[in-house]
Amino acid sequence: MELNLREHQRAVVDALRNGFKNGHRAQLLYAPTGFGKTEVAIYLMQAAMQKGTRVAMLLDRIVLVEQTSMRLSKYHLDHGVYQAGHWKYAPDKLLQVCSAQTLERREDFPRIEMLIVDECHITRKQTTEYIKNNPHVKVIGLTATPFTNGLGRIYSNVVTGAPTEFLVHNKWLAPLRVFIAKEIDMTGAKKVAGEWSQDVVTERGMKLTGDIVENWITKTHEIFGGPRKTIVFCAGVTHGADLVQQFADRGYNFVSISYKDDDEFKRQAIEDFAKPDTEIHGLIATDILTRGFDVPDVMIGVSARPFSKSLSSHIQQMGRVMRPHETKEYGVWFDHSGNYLRFREDWDEVFSQGVNELDKKTEKAKKEPTEKEKKDSKCPVCSHIWPRGSYICPQCGHISERQNSITTVSGVMEELKGQKGVGVDRQKFYSELLFIAQARSYKSTWAAHKYRDRFGVWPRNLIETTSMPSPETARWVKSRQIAWAKTQKRS
């Protein structure tokens, strides 16, 4: 199979090459889930091999080693797997796929001239020392979440791929519809190094098992008419087992997998779940599936593991549901953890702009939203999160009273910020408004005014192209017409 990169992938290849020309020996490539970082890495490794350069890709999980080896074989790239006892062990090959754990146990690296580090935000002492002590080796780190403190001391240049918003607009990722559900109460919970203790998270998560199951049953039938493939990120191993039992009591087949299960059991469970005709309704994950899990027809994610500061984990989890699939118009996210509101401002920025500087947004414990902010963030009818600047729910069409976005609390004026990238693709929405305006012979400014009506700002940096309106956009326009008619009647 021939490897053909998309335009945005070729752009980062050129940027990395320019970075090396400008003297940056170790560079970090930031790109969100769905960008195709592995394809970019394979393209670079292929180009290096053609020049006779010895190159290795370092991965932090054995399952990722196997997946990468299979992809290389798909593109007919001859390679060895640097792992003791592996049937493809061949240290003389120009291209090596390496397990980080194997290298740490053996305390050696294959002889190479270029190193590609997958999930480089997971910094390992031996890898960091190798990069530092081998200035002749060119290094590229890959990550979707470059928020680990100290990455700027390892990598001197960051190359930013297209942000999530761009990938969603071009249908390389699916948008998310987020519902704020009954939340696990973490008030006064013990923290270790700024993050909530695992034991406390598990204990408190157990108290909400029934609500999580009931919400999933109700919402999946409301939205899809029945169950769809689901991933649940639970609060702990015991919580996962409890969820399995309560889903089974209601007639649904969920399978829990965790770090305590052997690799063969996890591999088989994921393979069965990935089948189009699987009988598994959902996987329940404890501290796994945030990396290297690619089942694109997963429609629903359930967040039931609260994080105080781990923006990385939050973004990685959502990414599992945003993979595009021919049957998927959007993914659905049920938030029982409070993570979406807790990390909303950071996620808005990453969604729209990506990451351009290392060590700028290192992870810190987040301030908890107030009860008023939590209440105001969601639709009172269906619990869908409000789009920024809108007072009409994109899920159920409920119209709220217009409220000033500036709220005064204890003499302090604060802006109650909205959110981006959930349920509404702004370029797509604007293009659909332009289509409606053209079809109905409205004034040329009609679309811009409707856009401002929804988001509170004029459309900027958007392309003047038309697109067939979605049912959601048509419903929104109709709701505005109804609201206007009611206003006229009262007048």
Kindly report, residue by residue over 136-193, the tens digit of the pLDDT.
999 999 999 999 889 999 999 999 998 898 899 888 999 999 999 999 999 888 888 8
Q: How confident is the model at residue 223 (pLDDT cuts 50, 70, 90)?
A: very high
Residue 420 has pLDDT above 70, yes or no: no
The SS3 assignment for 255 reads: strand
Distance of CA 122 to the CA centre of its chain: 17
Q: What residue type is assigned to position 277 of the chain?
A: D
Residue closest to 281 by CA, chosen among 214, 208, 216, 205:
216
Q: What is the DSSP letter of 212?
A: H
3-state DSSP assignment of residue 241 = helix
pTM as predicted? 0.76
Instruction: Evaluate whether 7-162 and 168-394 have a shared fold.
Output: yes
What b-and-e string marks burial along 166-191, b requiring 16 or more CB atoms within 10 Å of the CB? bbbbeebbbbbbbbbbebbebeebee
What share of the chain in percent tops pLDDT 70? 92
Query: Which residue spans within 347-437 are E strands per DSSP?
Result: 406-409, 412-415
User: If pLDDT is split at 50, 70 and 90, which confidence band does 110 have?
Assistant: confident
- Domain 168-394, what architecture? 3-Layer(aba) Sandwich (3.40)
| Cα dihedral 383, 389, 394, 400 sign | positive
* Cβ-based neighbours of 118, under 8 Å, separated by 6 or more: 37, 38, 41, 57, 58, 59, 60, 64, 68, 142
For the stretch 263-300, pLDDT in tens is 788 889 989 999 999 999 999 998 777 666 778 999 99
Q: Which residue has the tokens 């990455």?
A: 151
Dihedral sign, Cα of residue 208, residue 211, residue 217, residue 222: negative
Q: Name the residue with tokens 């598990």.
A: 202
Residue 361, burial from CB neighbour count under 10 angstroms (0-12, 13-18, 19+): middle
How many whole angstroms separate alpha carbon 360 and alpha carbon 425?
27
- Report the topology of domain 7-162: Rossmann fold (3.40.50)
Burial class (CB in 10 A: 0-12, 13-18, 19+), 297: middle
* Domain ranges within the chain, ordered by starting residue: 7-162, 168-394, 426-490
Cα separation, 351 vs 388, in Å, equals 14
C-beta of residue 332 within 8 angstroms of C-beta of residue 321: yes
3-state class (DSSP) for residue 346: helix
At position 66, the amino acid (one-letter code) is E
Name the band, by pLDDT with cuts 50, 70 and 90, for residue 361: low
Under DSSP, is residue 286 helix (H, G, I), strand (E, B) or coil? strand
First CA to last CA across the chain, in angstroms?
67
DSSP state of 383: -
